Structure 1
């Protein structure tokens, strides 16, 4: 479960408003067959399973201690990555440095928190989670009026505003998870079952903050959330990370959290309302209802600031070096847990030593070209993805390469270790013209594009490419599909899935010699060709008209 910091305006409003000066007027267009300098085919074929295997094995080894930000494992990881990029012949991406400092704020809430709301006294963890993103050791919520605000969405392009005519300053808002299309897919509202960013819990806290609310609490329901209560409880306990901000994040709601579905039902009943009836009204159109009850809570937190680093390396373009294609991956994972018996290291082999390995292997292929691509190609390997996309968010807020000169972002996160596939899964399929380039490269491999199997889970908003998308830079996230290339691969896939299923964010996500890296190779070659074609094109790929993101107006 991922945490992000707040935007400063509704997504539909902020993207066109971002001023990106100095950019040539982007031209829409589909990919064309670029004139390929001698060496493309050799570079493409040089992307080997063995390189990918070796990089993954090294980066996920115990020596790197689980790669937790600000830990000794980070220092070892940074030293390794900068050394490898130097060996490959890439240049430092940040002046004379391969590193970009990222100042992190660690907030650990005292679990002795009680939320008093109406007639309910809710203990921390069991069916209520509460914390703060503010840089404050003590946050108090006192007799705050409670208002149900439906889905908590302000989306002009969908003609939807749950806050219309409502003053929630100083109040506590109760919000439904997901967006109005999920449970009413035939209504024509939003994008049906496919979640928009308005359905993500991160957006709901951001919007509540913009509206001036004092606290924002989301009602958890497993199906629309796409995960159970245990995920909420595990993700929101212990240290939580954010970026250090000059204002101490005081523009954020003071308290943010979750309550379980049954708690909401009891709460509404005691307030004289039926939760399911109120939810049904909220599904039909913008809706709010004062509950005529109060909320109080005290949150005590321990604060700690520390520095972590993004890694950025660049292969300068041969004729348009100021224009960049940026590949992203995250180097971090969850570190060590000394309280565990036996294995204490979260090695993060698939998530995301494999994506970092793909970045290094791809950099090697680009560096081997006889003639560099026309545009520059940069590799941004970020920190603190697991803490809420913080490294990529910091970069997007403090770009080294101007966003106006960033043609596209291509993301690599948790590569396919289950063998070659006939299909390519496009997360957030239909969002941009980058998929035209992807389709061309997929056809070269005899593959076809498919939608992710759970678009309602909103995975497009849960990895580092999203930090670029929020700023209007077209961003692609594609990965191995689900249809094995042959029967032998199908049998391997079944065997391996039995071992790896359930290893997400667990100590069992560790390198295995029996892993088949041919699927990782296949996808790395695929994304190499996408970036190569864009880098040798004069096109500026655009978002689709149905996307909630758009390039800023020039």
Structure 2
């Protein structure tokens, strides 16, 4: 494994990538230097709230300063985010009791911690609500005729077959809020056979001691997606059988129904009462987003901000990792994304021409804990009065292991940001390929989605499918992703890394100089859900 070297003086010491005349040169050596520093052992995996992350944050701030960017907040380069971390106390009993039968945490139930309740006791009836969807346009009215007030909503995990993957992921992300709106006080999720093939129950049981992190708002309260939900967990096996006892249906019958094409299940009241009992241990911490701004030169458009974001954190040290190496260096995930963002910022400065809109460069904290740093920034934007964030281009885990001839912009089909991505790719000699792994629901799994939820058109750029890229990317996900093997000794293609930075510069430049701010397309489920009142653009080719 590589060790820290004197990498702070990042001059262009190697031949730059050839690009169109208007694209400033990007240095492969500079890309390598950033990654080698940020993914070095001495930073111990850059876990948010640790000294290693703080060193990485200082490094990024020093690069912003050297480039002549403006600090992104009135107090400097850092937007401090406070966190509350909760885990279930292993020294005290934690169990879900169903109709008089007790099921201990880590057996046939997996209980989620909640830092609001040192001693958590939630009691109520239970109602099976199918997938827990309230989506009439898609034909799902799972709560129709059911009384959830003061009860646990018992819902199937995953999503029905046949829904477009991104729509399914968006609806899934809102289910807890929907349950709360219907009156539920708790949510119990049923892992379906399809889920268990991908995520065996043994993994759920192994996670019961893990902490759940929440953002602490300026008022001192944790930010919760559904504050009325006071208990949540997963149930399977004998616990699931106990829930359905006497209901007129068995879990096996439910699973058989949803396995059929177009199969649906009917919600119903369940007979047993539910009692959720746990004790929670709470700690607090803080970690910064690092923000630099290149002010726009247009008096009107300069108040609009294009964001180029990349998460800086990774998973720290994992004592349970196999082998002697326990450090999760996160070279691809996401030192490579931060390096891309830093070199795109350098390209803006080296171009000698300020953009019309302001461009904000952000190294985000706590992505690995649930997109928390980006969620905080999206809800607390650091723009002046009258300013507005109009687009986010997010950089998360480019797999820089092969010759780059194309890129993928996850979410390109939902807004005019995708058109900018296509133009930018062509400008540096690349093509834009469609999502090659829709089953992964990438568009709702990284930091750009925090901005999407605030109505901001966004994409996430990734390396493409040509030259075996789809196979190499998926192989990386299967074997290297979130393991100590994700380190700088991987066979990076640094020329392609520089080209990837160049295309991201061009996307941000296109968005910053366009006469009109990006718009969601007519019919985009994300535009309809999160930007209902914003003007929309016709989808290319639509009549």
Unaligned runs of 5+ in 2: 1-18, 535-543
Query: 1:108 Cα shift?
Result: 1.2
Matched, 1:383 2:360: no
Q: Give the alignment's TM-score, normalised by structure 1.
A: 0.82
Query: 1:113 Cα shift?
Result: 2.2
CA contact (8 A) 2:436 2:465 kept: no
CA contact (8 A) 1:173 1:217 kept: yes
Unaligned runs of 5+ in 1: 1-39
Q: Give the alignment's TM-score, normalised by structure 2.
A: 0.84
Query: 1:553 Cα shift?
Result: 2.4
Deviations 1:218-271 (A, max 9, x none): 112363588313554455542210112455558241111223478646743664
Q: 1:497 to 1:290 in 2, by over 3 A?
A: closer
Task: Say which SS state the counterpart of residue 196 (structure 1) adopts.
Answer: helix
The equivalences for 1:154-233 within 5 A come to 154-158=134-138, 160-180=140-160, 182=161, 185=162, 190-191=163-164, 194-200=166-172, 202-221=173-192, 223=194, 227-229=198-200, 230-233=202-205
Deviations 1:262-312 (A, max 9, x none): 864674366441335445767656842112112112111111122211111
Query: 1:353 Cα shift?
Result: 0.8
Residue 106 of structure 2 is matched in structure 1 by 125
CA distance in 2, matches of 1:84, 1:437: 27
Residue 376 of structure 2 is matched in structure 1 by 394
Residue 486 of structure 2 is matched in structure 1 by 509
Task: Say which SS state the counterpart of residue 75 (structure 1) adopts.
Answer: helix
Residue 328 of structure 2 is matched in structure 1 by 346
CA distance in 1, matches of 2:211, 2:242: 30
Q: 1:358 to 1:401 in 2, by over 3 A?
A: same
Matched, 1:238 2:207: no
Task: Say which SS state the counterpart of residue 363 (structure 1) adopts.
Answer: helix
CA contact (8 A) 2:246 2:271 kept: no
Query: 1:479 Cα shift?
Result: 0.8
CA distance in 1, matches of 2:23, 2:98: 60
Matched, 1:88 2:67: yes
Task: Say which SS state the counterpart of residue 131 (structure 2) adopts.
Answer: coil
Task: Say which SS state the counterpart of residue 299 (structure 1) adopts.
Answer: strand
Residue 525 of structure 1 is matched in structure 2 by 502
Matched, 1:440 2:423: yes
Matched, 1:296 2:275: yes
Q: 1:337 to 1:225 in 2, by over 3 A?
A: closer
Query: 1:522 Cα shift?
Result: 2.7
CA distance in 2, matches of 1:351, 1:542: 29
CA contact (8 A) 1:408 1:541 kept: yes
The equivalences for 1:364-383 within 5 A come to 364-383=346-365
Aligned length: 500
CA contact (8 A) 2:243 2:272 kept: no
Query: 1:165 Cα shift?
Result: 3.9
CA distance in 2, matches of 1:226, 1:422: 34
Q: 1:311 to 1:481 in 2, by over 3 A?
A: same
User: Which structure is richer in relative contact order (CA contacts within 8 A, separation 6 or more)?
Assistant: 1
Query: 1:472 Cα shift?
Result: 0.5
CA distance in 1, matches of 2:215, 2:339: 27
CA contact (8 A) 1:356 1:381 kept: yes
CA contact (8 A) 1:468 1:475 kept: yes
| Pick aligned residue for 1:325 from 303, 306, 321 | 306
CA distance in 2, matches of 1:401, 1:66: 31
